[in-house]
Every structure is written in structure tokens, then in C-alpha cells.
Amino acid sequence: MTAPGIELVGVRAAYGRIDVLRGVDLVVPAGSVFALLGPNGAGKSTTLRVISGRMRPRAGCVHIAGVHVNGTPPARLARAGLCSVPEGRGIFPNLTVSDNLRMATYRGGLSFSDVRDTAFERFPALSDRRTQLAGTLSGGEQQMLALARALTTNPAVLLLDEISMGLAPLIVAELYEVVARLAREGITILIVEQFARVALPVADFAGIMTQGRIQVVGEPADVEAALSEAYLGAV
Amino acid sequence: MQDLLAFTIVGIVSGSIYAIAASGLVVTYTTSGVFNFAHGAIGMVAAFLYWQVKVDWGWGTWPALILVLGVFAPLFGLFIERVLMRPLAGKPTGVSLVVTVGLLVLLYGIASRVWPGTETRRVAEFLQDTRFQVAGVSVSAHQVIVLVVTVAVAAGLRLVLFRSRAGVAMRAVVDNPELAILNGALPERVSQLAWVLGSVMASLAGVLIAPGRSYNHLFLTLLVVNGYAAAILGRLRSLPLTFVGALLLGTGEAYLIGYSQRFSFGEGVLGTNGVLAELLPVLPTVFLFAVIVALPQTRLQVAKLAGGRVLRVPAMPQTLWRGACFVAMAALATALLSPTQLFNASTGLVVAMVMLSLVVLVGYSGQISLCQFTFVGIGASVMGKFFGSGSLLGLVAATLAAAAFGALVALPALRLRDIYLALATVAFALFGERLLFDHPKVFDRGATLSFERPALLGIDLENGKALFIFLAACFAAMAVLVLAVRRGPLGRRLAAMNDSPAACVTLGLNLIGTKVTVFALSAGMAGFAGALFGMLRTSVSANDFVLLVSLNTFLLAMIGGITTVTGALIGGMALPLLDTDLQGLFIGAGAILISRLPNGFAGVLYGLPARLRRPPGLGEPRLGGDTTAPVTPPLPERVPA
């Protein structure tokens, strides 16, 4: 049996004196999609910050593909194949579309022309706008550009933080098609979403996070049933 | 016709050097978000170092070039990034402004100490005596080399910034540093590369422009004002526009020099060389000012965390009581101080008044002025020219005249923020230094203006002791005024404007009126201090009011603490205490060291009692600044009268 793609054991993290993660245990089996749901302020984004190396946990272990990575600089994780699309739009607004794609080549063993060709093949809309500043793209196109990095750099692990935020339902559906395709390629994906409806269909597993802990883990259907209780408290 | 061609070539060559300097500035600004005011000072030091190695040590041209451009410049760039800039990450623009201006003053201080201005230095041009004939015009090999180097620099920059991943990463890091890391880029590396590039280009410009003329610290340092002007034309972002700006400036200057000898257009304002020649020294400044004013309005800023701890303002009775105590203590001090000490302390009080004017402008309202001593000079000249015999009316006139100029400077400030505002005030300071104060009606080219100390209300101020007490009373009165402003409606408007201009506009606050008021108020205070400065010194010259003095004053006010009256007093009294030889070193290094404390030395003083009371290990209480910091109730702090 291969090691899980992402594994957190008893992870605690805090901003100053305010505890945000109070013992997070999470296993995302290699090649599967995990949807992490939960209300605002539950600690979902912080969990991603810890996994991507941007924040050091106070206690506990972070394993990526079986390797203990606590304290590894985020840039090194990124070069090793951890692709993370942060909250908001994961693009450089004042760089052209091409330059944005060039930034993806820090992942080892990639040439710029490969990245560019794959991205433009998958998203022809971007090809027409290659010399345009990324900040002038529409919200959907910006998020496509952000996903293009995941699509072209062959990551081992992909972290997606609220990619549906502020986008029209049609566009969101399109984005999640891309996610589903990435999942079929065997990438381990951790999705953080507030809107369960869009994330659950592509997920193999799901969990609900409240108050700094993952309270419920299970099949998407079971978790969906438990959602309202987790959000609103036991009725 | 041939003249035109010759002038054009000269202009393009000097424009090329400006372009190299300016593009270095643009590279560091776009990649680090820091506008390097010390850019020119780096070029100046490089030029002197080049002379040192090539001429003084006699190593020859190539070793000197390799040592300066290949070793010194990159290492210095690395030093700036590692030691000065990295700790500034996430700090407001004002902090990096203080650090780079501090670096300028520091480098200037070091250079004038290591290479005193008493010696004449000259470096031969590259391949001296080799000349070519181009269409009947003689062109030197040095000029050709400058052009070739500039083209190479332009092409190289283009290649690095737009065709290499390192260049893209440089721009990406400015855009979104966190995302750049998530892509796998290392921001420290990127920023190192940027500062190395910037430092090398500044040095290259210094080494190219120095040969063939006699070395002058100030000229070489301010060479970059031309670069600033060119870089601003490209909005500090566009390299092609920067090159255009530099070439415009270079050729404009060359035509002015060339044709001013031919056509004088009458006597000119200054009398001797004609109008065109007089325009020459201020051309870059006028260009800079014009370009800045033509810039589109910056977007109004939404609330930012100032990071500074808000200091409590004392109530009116407390202020008055402390002011009275201050004057009484000054009166006592007259018995203890020798005449020289008394004179120095008096100078300190006058400078402290100038700093009070900065407290209102910079500390309370978040505007920036690097030309405060120009207002002082205006006040002094009005007082000396029209009321030399010393009269109370002169004080009023000096205040009003300076306030009027302050309102004038406020016009660009209405639309500008941070570095653009700082640059506009630098332009105004240079304008004052090179044209206004040189005017025969003002100081008449370096001549001095003499003052008489008046007798006020039956007190003879000819007496040093009486004058000292009078100045102390003036300082106390001004401090009471400043604190009254802080407590009153204007103070609230200023604080609101400092916090969030955007919110002010939505509340219907008149930003224009507020900014003009605060600039006029601050300049008026500086002008008043200028009149007193003249009375104290009994003779002043244009040299007392140059840009460098304004920079020193600004930095010292920052060191003392620009948000408090105490800070102004500390800063003011420190100036005469500092040995003139080492002044630049102390002020520059001090400013760099203290730049991270928003309330300067005074803030440290007020923090002391609290720090002693607090149990160890709790750390600094904060209000704002680091949003991830633990939220602890801020300890009340006190501000003195």
C-alpha cells in the first residue's frame, strides 16, 4: 500500500495567541480527491497554509507522500510538485498571461514551451490573450489561468482554496470539470470549499471542519447529510 | 546645422547616462517596491572609488572597472538587500523612504570624509585623444563607448526582464510575493538580483559620467535627480519611456548649454548669462516637477494599519503647565551654559521649531516634505530683506510668505502620495536652492543677508540669554499650538486623512482644503522659525537652506520621533550637538537604525516606564501593525507638552 498523498497528524497552529487548528487529523489517500467543507473561520484555509509550508504548525506532523515536511520552505515544496492555488485568484495580475505561465516552470524539468503549449491547448481562450495582463481577464479566465498551472506542471499534490468564489455557476461547473480531469490523472487533490454542492460530486471523500478540528469524515453522500448539523449545530 | 548635430550628440550621450541611472532605479523599484533615494549616492561613491583605484593607486582602467563594477557594486547591492531592505518587508512606504534617504546622507557623509572636497580630482576619458569625424562633427571615443554601453544595457535589461524566468519572477514577486513562493520562486534571490542590478547600473552611470570633469560630491549624487525625472516619465515602471525621458532631458540640456552662449535673450533674471543659462541648473527639476504634476491622480487609499502606536495627547491645562515649566527651565539653564553652548542650544531650539512643523505635516497627517528648509529660507529671506532691523511685523510677514509657498507646494500634493510627493518636494527644494535663493533679490548668489536682533517688549534680544529664553518661549508656544491642533477638529481631520483618504471622501471631508491647510500651516511654522533663525545667526546665506539640510532635518526629526513634540525637541537639540564632520554618518546611520520605530526615540522614552512595569516575556504591546500579533490592550502612553 502506498503512503497517503497528504497526511496530517494532530496538527495545531495559531496566529499569535489565537489557536486556529486544534488537532487536525486528515488522511487523503494518494490519487484521491478530498473535499474539506465548513463554515467561515473553521480553519480550512489555515490547514492549506500549513500543508503548503506557508505556516509552521505548533505541534503535530505533516506528511506529503509519506515524507515528513514540517518546516520545509514553501518554495521547495512547490518545486517538488506541491501545487497550491491560494484563495482569491492565483495569478499575477500585472504580468501577461505568458509570463504567468512562465512562472509555472519553477517545477523541475519543465520547459516554458511545453507549459505554454499544454495550457493553450486546454484553454484556447487564454491563447488569444497571451500578451494581455492577467489582471484584465475575466474572473473565470483568471481562475482558468491559475488552474493551468496545475494542469501543466504535473503536480503530485494539488491544493485548491475556494476556487468558486465570486464566479458564476456555469464557470464554476467548468472549473470543476478541469478538477475532475486532474483527478482522473491520479493527482491527490485537497479542495477547500464553502459551497458543498459544487465540490462533493468530484470528491472521493469529504470532511467537515468546525472550530479547528475535522469533525466528520466519510463518503460525500454521508457528509452532505451531516452538513446542516455541522453548520447550524445539532437540531 | 553642424552645431545642432554636435549639440544633439552631446545631448544623446549625457541622456544615455541618465538612462542607465534611471533604468537601475526602475529595476529596483519595480521589483522591490522601494524607491531608492540613495541611487545617485551609490553612483557617486562608485565614481570616487574608480578614481581611487585608477588614478590614486594607479592600477589602470581595466582593473579599476572590474573592481568597481564587478566587485564593489554587486557586493554593495547585496549588502543593501540583506542588511537594509530585507527587514523592511511589509513595512509602510514611509519606512523605506527614511532608510534610503538615510543611506543617501550616510554615503554622502562617508564620501566627503574619505575623499575631502579640498582636493581636485579628475579621471581621463576612455581612450582619450581618439576622435572620429561624423558628418563633420568630431566625436570622442568616450562618447561612442557610452552609446554602445547604453544600447547594450537596454538590450540586456529587455532580455533579462522579459525573456528570462528570473526577470519574470522579479516582476511576479512585486505582484504577489506569496503566490510567487507557491510557484517555487525564492523572493530573497529575486530581490538580491534586483538590488545587484540597481547598484551596478548606478555605479556604471557614475563611472561613465565622471571622466572629463572635476569631481564634485553633490553634482554626482544629484545626477540622479535627472534619472528620477526620466524614471518618473515612465511612471517608474516602463523602461522604454524612461529611456525616452532620459534622452529628452539630455538633449534639452545640451541645447540649453549650446545655444545659451549664442542667444542670451537679454540680461536674464540673474544678470550675467542670460535666461537660457539660468534655466540650465533647474531644467531637471522643472522637468521632474512637470512630469509629476502631469501624473494621473493616485487612487485614494483605503484604511491601512499605520503600525504606529497611537500616543495619548495631553490635555490643554497639562500642556500649558508643562510649557511654562519648559520656559522656566530654559531661564535657569542660561545661568549654567557658556555663550557658545547657549548659541548651540538656541540653534537647537530653532531647528526644533522646524521639526514641530514636520510633526504637524508628517507625523499627524502622513504627508511628506523633504523641502522644509526651503520654507525656512523663504522666512529668513523675507525677514532679512524687508525687516532686517528686526520687527514683529517681520515675523508675521515671514510666516505668511512661507505659508503661501507651502500652499503652492500643496498643489501637487493633492494628487500625490508617498514617493511621488517626496520627489515633488525634492524638486521644490532644488528649485529653491538653484534659482530662488540665487536670485539677487533674495540672497544674491552666495552673498549673506544680515539681520539685527530687535528689542521686543522692552527686552533686548542682543543679549544671548534673553534671546535663548525668547526662543524657548516661542518653542513652547508653538508646541501648545501644535498640540491644540492635534486635539481640535483639524487634528481629527488630519488623522482621518492619514488613516484612510478614501473613507474621508465618503464622509464628505474636503481633502483638498485639509491638505492645503496643513501644508500652509507647516510651511508657515517653518517660515516663522526661519525668521528666528536669521535673528539668531545675524547673517545667513543660501547655503544654509540647501536640500541636504532639509534631508538631514527630516531624518533627525524621524530619529527624535516625528509624532511628538518631545521628538521634535530631541531631534532639534541633537543637530548642533553633532560634530559637523561626522554629521552625515550619525544622521544617516541613526535614521536607518530607528526607521522601524514609528515614534522614534521619543516613543522609546515613553515606552520605558511601561516596559519596566511589565513582567518579562510578554513582549511589546501593539496596536495595529502585525495583524497576526496577539491582541493585548495597549498600555496608555503619555505625550509631553
Average pLDDT over residues B21-27: 90
pLDDT value of position B298: 59
Residue of B165, B170, B181 to mutate when probing chain A, most A C-beta within 10 A: B181
Among A151, A189, A103, residue whose Cα is nearest residue B178: A103
Q: Is residue B449 pLDDT above 60, yes or no?
A: yes
Under a CB-based contact definition with an 8 Å cutoff, are residues B384 and B451 in contact? yes
ipTM: 0.89
The whole-number pLDDT of residue B408 equals: 87
CB of B468 closer than 8 Å to CB of B349? yes
What single-letter DSSP state applies at residue B272? S
Q: Which of the two residues, A56 and B543, has the higher pLDDT score?
A: A56
If DSSP states are collapsed to H, E and C, what string results for B530-566? HHHHHHHHCEECHHHHCHHHHHHHHHHHHHHCCCCHH
Q: Helix, strand, or coil here: B488?
A: coil
Band the pLDDT of B225: cuts 50, 70, 90: confident
The answer to whether A74 and B181 have CB atoms below 8 angstroms apart is yes
What would the grid cell of residue B397 be? 510677514
Contact status, residue B354 vs residue B532, Cβ threshold 8 Å = no
Residue B89: count of CB within 10 angstroms of its CB: 13
Tell me the shortest Cα–Cα distance from B371 to chain A, in angstroms: 34
Asked if A18's CB is within 8 angstroms of B179's CB, the reply is no
> Taking Cα atoms as reference points, which of B314, B374, B305, B327 lies closest to residue B598?
B305
What gap in Å lies between CA B64 and CA B115, rounded to an integer?
Answer: 17
Q: Is B188 on the interface with A (CB under 8 A)?
A: no
Kindly state the DSSP code that residue B54 receives in the 8-state scheme.
I
**Among A70, A74, A50, A71, which Cα is nearest to A61's?**
A70
Place of cell 570622442: B140
Best mutation target among A103, A107, A116 (most B Cβ atoms within 10 Å) is A103
- Read out DSSP for A160-183? EE-TTTT--HHHHHHHHHHHHHHH
pLDDT band at B637, cuts 50/70/90? very low
Identify whether the C-beta of residue B430 lies closer than 8 Å to the C-beta of residue B373: no
Q: For chain B, what percent of residues have pLDDT higher than 90?
A: 29
- A86-102 pLDDT tens trace: 888 789 998 899 999 99
**What residues of chain B lie within 8 A of the CB of A18, using their CB?**
630-631
Q: What is the predicted pLDDT for the residue at A38?
A: 87
Q: What Å distances lie between residue B541 and A208, B172, B219, B437, B533, CA to CA?
A: 75, 49, 20, 9, 11
Structure-model confidence comparison of residues B262 and B474, the more confident one: B474
Closest chain B residue by Cα to residue A88 = B179
Interface test with A, best of B168, B171, B189 (most A CBs within 10 A): B168
Does residue B339 carry a pLDDT above 70?
A: yes
Question: What pLDDT does B366 receive?
Answer: 85
User: What band does B278 get if pLDDT is binned at 50, 70 and 90?
Assistant: low
pTM: 0.83
Total CB pairs under 8 A between chain A and B: 70
All residues of chain B having their beta carbon less than 8 Å from the beta carbon of residue A15 are 628
Q: Do A75 and B181 touch (CB under 8 A)?
A: yes
Q: Under an 8 A CB cutoff, do B182 and A105 touch? A: no
**Residue B17: left (phi > 0), alpha (psi -120 to 50), or beta?**
alpha
* Chain B hits for A93, Cβ within 8 Å: 175-176
Q: Which of A52, A94, A103 sits opposite B169 (nearest CB)?
A: A103
CA pair distance B104, B93, nearest whole angstrom? 17
In this model, does residue B70 exceed pLDDT 90? yes
Looking at the partner chain, which of A15, A17, A92 has a beta carbon nearest the beta carbon of B176? A92
DSSP letter for B86, please.
G
CB–CB of A99 and B186 under 8 A? no
pLDDT digits (tens, 9 = 90+) for A131-153: 999 999 998 899 999 999 888 88
Helix (H, G, I), strand (E, B) or coil at B175: helix
**Euclidean distance between CA atoms A50 and A31, whole angstroms:** 20
The overall average pLDDT reported for chain B is 82
Higher pLDDT pick, B522 / B411: B522
pLDDT band at residue B505 using 50, 70 and 90 as cut-offs: confident
Compute the nearest-CA separation of A56 from chain B (Å): 14
- Residue B90: count other Cβ atoms within 10 Å of its Cβ: 10
Condensed to tens digits (0 to 9), the pLDDT of residues A161-173 reads 998 888 899 999 9
Q: Is residue B302 scored above 70 in pLDDT?
A: no
Higher pLDDT, B308 or B288: B288
Domain boundaries, chain B: 19-124+137-244, 319-631
Q: Is the per-residue pLDDT at B200 higher than 90? A: yes
Q: Are strands B459-460 and B539-540 parallel, antiparallel or unpaired?
A: unpaired
DSSP A11-38: EEEEETTEEEEEEEEEEE-TT-EEEEE-
Do A92 and B186 make contact, defined as CB atoms within 8 angstroms? no
Q: Nearest C-alpha of chain B: how many angstroms from A75?
A: 4
* CB-based contact, A58 to chain B, within 8 Å: no
pLDDT of B80 over the 90 cut: yes
